[in-house]
Structure 1
């Protein structure tokens, strides 16, 4: 019984994630675009709001960041990091549970369509 309780506790802790946790891992998608970070962010953001109404777009020191998470458990599910590059922007999509794509099709399609 103690082993079962310990295993459940470990699974719950492993599931927690913040934007900085996701940014430490490998991105799910990487691309470059000739658009500046603000233009790209403004193109993608409406799709993220459709995906999760609580999505947040914020300006960073070198670009923009979009964050979408679950309101119920406070976990970050997706982070889009958009940074200034020599000829436009570099774009990286980080996803918690990247294998689970139910309901996320708009996120990936907007990533590509806005390039």
Structure 2
């Protein structure tokens, strides 16, 4: 039953763009001792089994990762990773961020990569 509700929400939710994700409230706003490159590589490694190829864009002093949806087109999540001292600041924006049954692989990877591997 949960999957039926989740599938309906994905279908009815429509597509969202990167600019719409940027304007939404972040679901995670943290600092890490890892460099932007180390953190981005950790995210890519953790999501390699559950997501298609993650897009990466270089920014002024960091990186942006765009995570594709599992079902449908468009981004599911956006990571803004900026250099800060010897580490980085991370902001995560997720599609359906207020939907309690959303897939948890992105959030799990984001929190595991803060200090873990």
Q: Which TM-score bucket, shorter chain as reference?
A: 0.7 to 0.9
Q: Tell me, in whole angstroms, the C-alpha distance in 2 between the residues paired with 1:72 and 1:44.
A: 19
Long gaps (5+) in structure 1: 1-11
What are the within-5 Å matches in structure 2 for residues 88-107 of structure 1? 88-98=87-97, 99=99, 100-102=101-103, 105-107=104-106
Matched residues, number: 102
Larger radius of gyration: 1
Question: Which position in structure 2 is the counterpart of 1:28?
Answer: 27
Q: Normalising to structure 1: TM-score of the pair?
A: 0.74
Long gaps (5+) in structure 2: 1-11
Q: CA deviation at 1:50?
A: 2.2
Which aligned runs of 4 or more in structure 1 are off by greater than 4 angstroms?
none
Find the residue that maps to 2:49 and give its secondary structure. helix
Question: Which position in structure 1 is the counterpart of 2:38?
Answer: 39
Q: CA RMSD in A?
A: 2.2
Q: Normalising to structure 2: TM-score of the pair?
A: 0.73
